[in-house]
Amino acid sequence: MSLPYFISRRISKNKTGSFSTVINKIAVVSIAVALAALICTFMILRGFEDTIKQKIYSFSGHLIISKYTLSTSFENSSIVVEDSLMDGLRALPGVDYLQTYAYKAGLLKTNDEVQGVILKGLDRSFDTSAFTMHMVDGHFPKFPEEGYGTEVALSTKIANYLSLKVGDEVLVFFIQNPPRYRNLKITGIYETGLE
């Protein structure tokens, strides 16, 4: 007979009401409550982690392919995207979706305020289904059949800072030589909660 088995049998078979029986029951209940709290904590943290990952991936994706440069600019150097490259990437296992985008630095100007921003330019291939859950007002910008669109979605932080709402127009200046500007219509405001 092993020593741990002998001790546990002696403690569990003690008379009801003895000191060791009360201590034993308190220990068992304490361990059960601690384990239940630990399991709940892990489940909550796992759900929180999955929510944050989903929010980040809805903005940038799981994998970003870009040109390697030593530049510290916010704007990425463009790469040539040929159909053969896209077909080869789509054929890889685990690849569900591909999309192209471009970043451009600019200034949003209203009558009272100016705010520096990084604009993310998208095309018709953008998957709006993952992003629409972050929209708090309005809708995601619609892509025109030809040319470039003049609709934009802003974060609640920028919209509040510039006192803008859905339906307002805002002037954007692109920082380049010579400077360019566009008049954009706000069709949606989004909130991620990541900040």
pLDDT attached to residue 88: 83
CA–CA dist 92, 120 (Å, integer)? 26
Q: Give the start-to-end residue ranges of the domains of the chain.
A: 3-60, 98-190
- One-letter identity of residue 138: G
For residues 186 and 158, the answer to whether their CB atoms sit within 8 Å is no
pLDDT attached to residue 33: 94
CA–CA dist 80, 95 (Å, integer)? 20
C-alpha distance from residue 102 to each of 45, 51, 99, 116, 121 (Å): 34, 26, 11, 17, 5
Low-confidence ranges of the chain (pLDDT < 70): 1, 11-18, 20, 71-77, 195
pLDDT attached to residue 34: 94
C-alpha distance from residue 155 to each of 108, 116, 135, 136 (Å): 13, 13, 9, 9
pLDDT attached to residue 16: 60
Q: How do residues 62-76 score in pLDDT, each as one tens digit?
A: 777 777 777 666 666
Q: How do residues 48-67 score in pLDDT, each as one tens digit?
A: 888 888 777 777 777 777 77
Pull the structure tokens for residue 70: 């030593």
Whether pTM > 0.85 for this model: the answer is: no
Strands (DSSP E) along 64-179, which ranges?
Answer: 101-109, 114-122, 135-138, 151-155, 169-174
